[in-house]
Amino acid sequence: MPFVPAITLTEPQLQELLVAAGRLAAEQVVAELRASLVQDPREQTLLRLRGFLQDPSTITDPRAQWADAALIRRIQPNRQGKPKSVAWFMKFQKATGLCDCPSRRSPNHGRAKEWTFADIRHAWQHYYQISR
């Protein structure tokens, strides 16, 4: 007959072990739920754009993904945690040539112009290389 290891625990040790395991499981479940919560579509787009700027391999076709000025201004908040100003965006747009890139009218927000993730990434890299 094969040897089977065994552990002997006292009642308080068992309770402590169960509480710790339950707490860890609850933390993992809450983290997963937070990650999978249905978010505002604009929030999801912003998260995808931020991810794409950090790692371009996260999106297979960046020319099919679009974002408007309001989302671009929220990529990197200012010191107070608010979106960058409209004046900042105008400067960014002109300095990087984003204003000359192909754009489209937002299907969801009427008059707002949108640019592809690829063009935004190129402009972002160009702007932050210059300003360093």
Does the pLDDT of residue 46 top 90, yes or no?
Answer: yes
105 φ/ψ angles, rounded to the nearest 5 degrees = -75, 140
d(CA 5, CA 26): 29
pTM: predicted TM-score of the whole model, two decimal places:
0.69
* Same domain as 92, residue 63: yes
Residues 47-52 have a mean pLDDT of 94
* Same domain as 51, residue 31: no
Lowest mean pLDDT among 7-11, 36-40, 55-59: 36-40
Amino acid present at 85: S
Query: Which range marks the domain in which residue 68 is found?
Result: 41-130
Confidence of residue 91 (pLDDT cuts 50, 70, 90): very high
DSSP state at residue 98: G
* Same domain as 81, residue 22: no
* CB contact burial 53-81 (16+ within 10 A = b; e otherwise): beeeeebeebeebbbbbebbbbeeeeeee
Q: Count of domains in the chain? A: 2
